[in-house]
Amino acid sequence: MQEPDVARIEALSTAFSPSAPIDQRALFAGRMSQLTDVINALGQKGQHALLFGERGVGKTSLARVLANRNSELSMGGQRVLVASINCDATTTFSSMWHRLLGDINFAQQRQAIGFTGESVRTAVPVNTVLPPDVTPDDLRRVLGQLGKTLIVIDELDRLEDEKASQLLADTIKTLSDHAVDCTLLLVGVADSVDMLIHEHQSVERALVQIRMPRMSPPELFEIINKGLAAAAMTIDDDAKGRIVQLSQGLPHYTHLLTQNAAQRAATTGRVRVELTDVRVAIDSALGKAQQSIISAYHEATASPRENMYQQVLLACAMAQADAMGYFAAVDVRDPLSRVMGRRYEIPAFSQHLNAFCEDSRGPVLQRTGSSRRYRFRFENPLMQPFVIMDGLKKGLIAEHLIG
């Protein structure tokens, strides 16, 4: 056995980013359509963008590619000022803008001390000219003096202050009506669209709605290829296909599985990743999963007596879902039959689906629609690949039956 290639292992640690959003343009793969839509909005005065989709599909990575403070973003040869914020439950409208505009400076002339008559030019944070309670009209006046500006407001769905949501909608309308050369890029889940449109119907014309679906196989292949190329490594086609299959369109797992599989290969001095490396990487990925995912899985499937909760949840993870991640009971029937090795009909597992939507089991699933027409999806999309990998590890499903 060859010696571990420590340099290559180190290169892989930066080439893939399973635990944090990507902020390096060279390693950001896919999403060119969404990136183009944001850039188009940035190029038009009075136009703003709302980037929405499931958790874990790479919205924040795309926003960071644009808002990376270490890069010099420009549009038509004009430098773009950039500021960004991650909302949380404590964020108010005024605190949001004080934090955002504290990241942007403007030049201020002041008289120097003494009798020379010379003035000194200093950089002052823009938020120093804001009042304690900020209004949309305050922002119109201040932002209108800054030149081309990009404001990124991430995790919009965590904004619990209803007044802040209304004022944000008012701000979009005000900036649009006055053609202020500032673009707001709002990042959140699908409910963020309904929230803003509900506050101001007229906001819709000023807001480009950009949905980020789960990544396609070619986009996930691009992540794998770019990351491995950065470490001068390659991968067998079957190994690459298995990583994409297990990732279920979520780039987090593509980064995690590829990094772990490639580092296992580098540990033995190999530069080509094989399927056996991916199988070992599954165990590692399960061990490195977020504790919240592990806890939610145990809460959803635990029972003092023998039951089918693990198997039904696995079938849900394997079910064919729509673009928003929703599936129906009928979509679970065939996967469960493959898991159990015999035919199962809906009445045999409908109670399990309903239980997964109750507080006693998380809930691990969301439910929408009416009786007999219910549709379900995972409360946390990152749970889905975890359930499939756990099923493989426990022998609940064979690799060739995942579909």
- Asked whether residue 69 carries a pLDDT value surpassing 50, the answer given is no
Region 227-245 average pLDDT: 96
- Residue 307 vs residue 339, higher pLDDT: 339
Would you say residue 181 has pLDDT above 90?
Answer: yes
How many C-alpha atoms does 128 have within 13 Å on its Cβ side? 8
14 has a pLDDT exceeding 80: yes
Which pLDDT score is estimated for 74? 61
pLDDT at 90 over 90: yes
pLDDT, position 402: 86
31-104+134-211 matches 291-401 in fold? no
Is the model's pLDDT at 348 over the cut of 90? Answer: yes
Q: Which helix (DSSP H) or strand (DSSP E) does residue 384 occupy?
A: helix 383-394
Closest CA to 373 of 315, 332, 324, 328: 328
Interval 44-61: pLDDT, tens: 888 999 998 888 888 888
Q: What is the pLDDT of residue 25?
A: 56
For 68: left if phi > 0, alpha if psi spans -120 to 50, otherwise beta; the answer is: beta
pLDDT at 375 over 90: yes
Cα 340 from Cα 310, distance rounded (Å): 11
Tell me how far apart the alpha carbons of residues 238 and 114 are, in angstroms, rounded to a whole number.
Answer: 75
Identity at 378, one-letter amino acid code? F
Burial of 144 (0-12, 13-18, 19+ CB in 10 A): middle
Helices and strands per DSSP (H, E), number in the chain: 16, 14
pLDDT over 70 (residue 71): no
Q: Which pLDDT does position 324 carry in this prediction?
A: 81
Q: Where are the domains of the chain?
A: 6-17+215-287, 31-104+134-211, 291-401
The amino acid sitting at 198 is H
Q: Is the model's pTM score more than 0.85?
A: no
What CATH number matches the domain at 6-17+215-287, 3.30.2420, 1.10.8, 1.10.287, 3.30.1230? 1.10.8
Name which of 52-66, 297-311, 363-377 the model is least confident about: 52-66
Distance CA 291, CA 260 (A): 19
For residue 328, pLDDT beyond 70 = yes
Arithmetic mean of pLDDT, 37-47: 87
Is pLDDT of 262 > 80? yes
**Mean predicted lDDT score pLDDT of the chain:** 87
Give the pLDDT confidence score for residue 22 in this predicted structure: 60
CATH of domain 31-104+134-211: 3.40.50.300
Mean pLDDT of 178-207: 80
Express as a percent the part of the chain with pLDDT over 90: 58
Q: Place 20 in a pLDDT band, splitting at 50, 70 and 90.
A: low
For residue 401, name the pLDDT band (cuts at 50, 70, 90).
confident
Residue 190 confidence (pLDDT): 67
pLDDT band at 70 (very low <50, low <70, confident <90, very high): very low
The length of the chain in residues reads 403
What CATH number matches the domain at 291-401, 3.40.50.300, 2.60.40.1250, 3.40.50.2300, 1.10.10.10? 1.10.10.10
Torsion from C-alpha of 238, 240, 246, 249, nearest 10 degrees: -140
Strand partners, 107: 123
User: 148, 162, 152: which is closest to 186 by C-alpha?
Assistant: 152
Provide the pLDDT for residue 272. 97
Strands (E), 40-129: 48-52, 74-75, 78-79, 81-86, 105-111, 119-125
